[in-house]
């Protein structure tokens, strides 16, 4: 089978959407750090709509900060890839042309710095996942002891981290009087613009206090709420999509029909009209972000830990179990009581839509994938809601289920004695803690609650929280996750 390429675009089946603009004429206005499936299903799709509308300033140079795999797949196909949108109504397929080039930072950090210093680049977008910010999840402050941050401070011209690249590039731009780019975080961090601004400014201060002042004054970090469920692409997806195209695509992305992007409109250097594909520009993103992190991601993680332990492979599988549906709804109901809702939001409709999205049988979203990096996710997804419920004197039994499920999960051994492939920056430490404590909730829960990067001291010390988590964990250990969810 021939490869998808610019030269084969005209031969695609007629029902496959494709770029309508002159790709060769598009400039590079955006550098994206962390070019994974999510960015290709979300931000690149929105940018494609702006390009299609004729604004050719906004081609994207993508960069991987770790592996070469996306570059290796996209390069031979001129950056083109297929976005397959799968819902109950079938599949819609679009070939996207917004990505002009892909760089692999560890191979050539200088090439990425050069791209970041291009005066035509006005925006740097990021999807490097929570751990890519090298922060302390409990406080959201830069982790100054992080080995990659220590490396970058010692070798500022050969950075490895997102803060390292951003600050070195901003410094170089300032030196040649090129105006700063806008930094747009598209990760699920709490108050993501503000959080990343603080991380980057702190890193800059460690390099050069004057630069920190410039960044504070001159660089915009708008906050965003991003939402589209995008599982990792499987070999079956690649085969099916290639068959549908009649050309081999090594880098397709499968996603759901739903997509939402709410953006704080602060772009001093200009921006694409992402509203062409439905993005919403607002002055305050915080209520949208909190609603999404606490209702969606909070229930997602809960389903993922307890679902994985029960042997459910995908989120859609957990939705077949009425007890898990009830748990997800309960987590959303409790989390919703802690929120200031966005203007005009219909919470009941939002929750209903989430349940439908989770049940989408066409998406094989593995519980294991969502379980990844729990240490980086728990604070903003569940612990914030728990803290607020405690302050209200409200019950937290349903909200602690995900935390207890996580505690059982990070022991690294499942309910059948089989190993769990726990992926987490803290996995080795969590495993040692679990091994030392043994499968005894009264020892395991307090030992994990002492991991201060995840659990802020005040919450960890709260007797109501300690008791509720320990009780839930004890029941999961004794009866198994599925039975405990059924009993709720
Ligand atoms: C998921 C998210 O993997 C995860 O942790 O909860 O990636 C989720 O699918 C997205 O935030 C949906 O927008």
Q: How much distance in Å is there from the Cα of 365 to the middle of ligand 1? A: 10
pLDDT at 396: 98
188 lines ligand 1 (CB under 6 A): yes
pLDDT at 48: 98
pLDDT at 168: 97
Residue 441 C-beta-side C-alpha neighbours within 13 Å: 19
DSSP 145-195: T-HHHHHHHHSTTS--SHHHHHHHHHHHHHHTTPPPPEEEE-S--TTHHHH
462 lines ligand 1 (CB under 6 A): no
Could you read off the pLDDT of 437-482 as tens digits, one per residue?
999 999 999 999 999 999 999 999 999 999 999 999 999 999 999 9
Among 206, 228, 211, 314, smallest CA distance to 277 is for 228
Strand arrangement, sheet containing 260-264: 224-227, 260-264, 280-282
pLDDT > 70: percent of the chain: 100
Minimum CA distance residue for ligand 1 atom 9: 229
Q: How much distance in Å is there from the Cα of 297 to the middle of ligand 1? A: 6
Retrieve residue 236's tokens.
């079956």
Q: How much distance in Å is there from the Cα of 289 to the middle of ligand 1? A: 13
pLDDT at 262: 98
Over range 158-184, report the average pLDDT.
Answer: 97
pLDDT at 242: 98
Minimum CA distance residue for ligand 1 atom 6: 297
214 lines ligand 1 (CB under 6 A): no
The radius of gyration computed from the CA coordinates of the chain, to the nearest angstrom, equals 22
Among 488, 464, 349, 289, smallest CA distance to 405 is for 488
Could you read off the pLDDT of 389-437 as tens digits, one per residue?
999 999 999 999 999 999 999 999 999 999 999 999 999 999 999 999 9
131 lines ligand 1 (CB under 6 A): no
Rounded Cα–Cα distance for residues 484 and 488 (Å)? 6
Minimum CA distance residue for ligand 1 atom 8: 229
pLDDT at 66: 95
Rounded Cα–Cα distance for residues 422 and 413 (Å)? 9
Question: Quick one: which atom of ligand 1 is closest to the CA of 38?
Answer: 7
Contacts of residue 479, defined as CB under 8 A and 6 or more positions apart, other chains included, come to 487
Q: For helices 399-409 and 298-309, what crossing angle results, to 10°?
A: 50
Element (DSSP H or E) covering residue 254: strand 253-255
Q: How much distance in Å is there from the Cα of 274 to the middle of ligand 1? A: 21
Over range 158-187, report the average pLDDT.
Answer: 97
Could you read off the pLDDT of 198-220 as tens digits, one per residue?
999 999 999 999 889 999 999 99
pLDDT at 171: 95
Rounded Cα–Cα distance for residues 280 and 184 (Å)? 15
Rounded Cα–Cα distance for residues 320 and 313 (Å)? 12
189 lines ligand 1 (CB under 6 A): no
Q: Detail the DSSP E strand segments found in 13-120.
A: 28-33, 59-64, 81-87, 90-96, 99-104
Instruction: Let me know: does 403 contact 469? Beta carbons within 8 Å.
Output: yes
pLDDT bracket for residue 315 (50, 70, 90)? very high
pLDDT at 246: 98
């Amino acid at each position: 089978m021939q490869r998808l390429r610019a030269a084969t675009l005209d031969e695609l089946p007629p029902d496959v959407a494709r770029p309508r603009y002159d790709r060769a004429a598009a400039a590079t206005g955006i550098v994206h750090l962390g070019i994974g499936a999510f960015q290709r299903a979300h931000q690149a799709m929105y940018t494609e709509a702006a390009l299609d509308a004729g604004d050719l300033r906004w081609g994207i140079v993508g960069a991987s900060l770790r592996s070469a795999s996306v570059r290796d797949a996209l390069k031979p196909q001129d950056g083109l890839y297929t976005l397959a949108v799968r819902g109950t109504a079938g599949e819609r397929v679009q070939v996207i042309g917004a990505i002009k080039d892909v760089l692999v930072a560890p191979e050539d950090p200088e090439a990425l710095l050069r791209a970041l210093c291009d005066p035509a680049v006005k925006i740097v977008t990021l999807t490097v996942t929570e751990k890519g910010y090298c922060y302390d999840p409990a406080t959201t402050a830069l982790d100054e002891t992080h080995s990659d941050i220590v490396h970058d401070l010692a070798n500022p011209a050969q950075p490895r981290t997102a803060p390292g690249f951003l600050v070195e590039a901003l410094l170089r731009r300032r030196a040649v009087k090129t105006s700063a780019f806008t930094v747009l975080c598209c990760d699920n961090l709490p108050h993501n613009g503000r959080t990343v601004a603080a991380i980057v400014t702190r890193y800059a201060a460690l390099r050069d206090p004057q630069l920190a002042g410039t960044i504070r004054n001159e660089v915009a970090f708008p906050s965003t709420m991003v939402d589209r469920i995008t599982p990792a692409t499987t070999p079956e997806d690649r085969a099916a999509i290639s068959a549908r195209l009649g050309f081999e695509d090594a880098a397709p992305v499968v996603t759901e029909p739903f997509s939402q992007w709410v953006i704080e409109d602060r772009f001093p250097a200009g921006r694409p009209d992402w509203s062409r594909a439905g993005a919403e520009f607002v002055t305050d993103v915080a209520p949208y972000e909190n609603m999404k992190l606490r209702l969606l991601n909070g229930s997602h993680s809960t389903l993922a830990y307890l679902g994985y332990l029960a042997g459910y492979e995908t989120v859609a599988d957990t939705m077949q179990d009425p007890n898990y549906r009830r748990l997800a709804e309960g987590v959303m109901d409790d989390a919703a009581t802690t929120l200031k809702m966005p203007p005009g939001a219909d919470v009941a409709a939002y929750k209903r839509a989430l349940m439908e999205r989770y049940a989408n049988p066409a998406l094989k979203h593995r519980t294991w994938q969502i379980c990844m990096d729990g240490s980086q996710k728990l604070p903003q997804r569940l612990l914030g809601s728990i803290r607020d419920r405690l302050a209200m004197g409200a019950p937290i039994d349903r909200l602690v289920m995900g935390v207890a499920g996580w505690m059982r999960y990070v022991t690294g051994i499942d309910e059948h004695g089989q190993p769990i492939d726990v992926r987490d920056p803290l996995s080795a430490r969590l495993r040692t803690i679990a091994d030392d404590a043994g499968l005894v909730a009264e020892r395991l829960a307090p030992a994990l609650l002492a991991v201060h990067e995840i659990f802020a001291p005040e919450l960890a010390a709260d007797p109501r929280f300690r008791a509720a988590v320990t009780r839930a964990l004890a029941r999961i250990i004794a009866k198994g996750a599925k039975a405990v969810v059924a009993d709720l």
